[in-house]
Amino acid sequence: MTEISDDRSATMLDDKTHQTEILKKRAAAIASARVDLTEPESRLIVFRLGNDLFGVPLEAVRVVHIIRRLTPLPGVPLIFAGLLAIRGGHVTALDLVRFLEPGASGRERHLADATKAVVVGPEGREIAILAEELEGIQEIFAGDVRSIEGAPEGAPISQLGPEGIQIIDVPALLADPRLHATRTEK
């Protein structure tokens, strides 16, 4: 079950208000566009990072965590933004912008602005995806999703949802060699 983990729940109030507004708008848009109230095919947790919207299937999300401190890790590729302390343990934080575009600039801004982390993956293999803002939960109906032309097979993002939401395929993300590679010790 997905839950919001935060010791400082007050900091969530603004987010919740913001989310509620967005959800209301979306609900209105969806209601006007559809006359039949069919069940959604899936639900996405939607978050913003820079100018991009990303969505993670709700069932793949273990927890959404509010970042209090990110422990930097020296001598690792920049896709690994650091470690997040979560419930007495820790999870590796992934800089999705760096991950998707290895040459991307503006890393510092993204990291400084990242206030949330969406933790995905099975137990023991969790990864925390850094997010600037949590936009809410988006219901996805048949026909809402389209494939990204030219996306390679097995790419972590190969589909777009409504409003250009880039849908993250969590198993594909975790299968990326950069996240489970081993190399000989230097």
Partner 1 sequence: MTLGSSDLMEVLRVFREEVREISERMSADFLALEVSPKEELGSLFGRLARDVHTIKGAAGSLQLHDLATLTHDTETLLKQYELAEQPIEAEVTDVLLAVLDEINAYLDAVLAEDAEPGSRMQGVRQRMVALIEGTAKKPTGKADAKIRKRRAAKASEAEAPGVGEDKSTQQKAFLRVSPKRLENLSQIADDLLLTRLQITQRGVDSRRIGEEMETLVTKGRRRWGPEQASQLRKVAEDVRAVARDLRLDAQRLAGVSEDFSDALRALQVLPASTMLEPFRRAVRDHARKVGIDVVLDIFGADVSADRRILEAVHGPVMHLLRNCIDHGIEPPAERATRKKPKRSRLRLEVEVVASRLHLSVIDDGRGIDPELLRRIAIQRGVVSPDEAESMSDAETLDLIWRAGFSTAASVTMTSGRGVGLDAVRDSILQLHGHVDVSTEQGKGTTFRIEVPVVMAATLGLLIESAGEPYLLPLSVVEVIGLIDPATLRSGQGGQLLEREQGAVPVVPIAAALSGVPAPFPAAQKRPPYCIVSDAQRSVALVVDAIRGESEMAIRPLGSELHRFKHLAGASFIGDGRLVPVLNVRGLIPRALDIGRVAAHDAGAKTVLVVEDSVSSRLLYRSFLEAAGYRVLLADNGQEGLDLLLEHAVDAVIADVRMPRIDGLEMTRRLRMLPDFAQLPIILVTSLGSDDDRREGLQAGANTYLIKAETTPDELVEVIGGFLQ
Give the helix/strand (H/E) hosting 131.
strand 127-131
Q: Per-residue b/e over 154-164, b at no fewer than 16 CB within 10 Å?
A: eebbbbbbbee
Least separation in angstroms between residue 6's CB and partner 1 is 16
Binds partner 1 (CB under 8 A): choice among 6, 66, 90, 100? 90
- 5 sits near partner 1 (criterion: CB under 8 A): no
Size of interface with partner 1, in residues (CB under 8 A): 36
Neighbours of 120 (CB within 10 A): 24
Least separation in angstroms between residue 60's CB and partner 1 is 17
- 8 sits near partner 1 (criterion: CB under 8 A): no
* Distance separating alpha carbons of residues 75 and 79, to the nearest angstrom: 11
- 103 sits near partner 1 (criterion: CB under 8 A): yes
Looking at residues 104 to 133 of the shown chain, list those that interact with partner 1 (rule: CB under 8 A). Answer: 125-127
Q: Which of 122, 112, 109, 132 is nearest to 173 (CA)?
A: 122
- 73 sits near partner 1 (criterion: CB under 8 A): yes
Least separation in angstroms between residue 15's CB and partner 1 is 24
What's the sign of the alpha-carbon dihedral 121, 123, 126, 128? positive
- 80 sits near partner 1 (criterion: CB under 8 A): yes
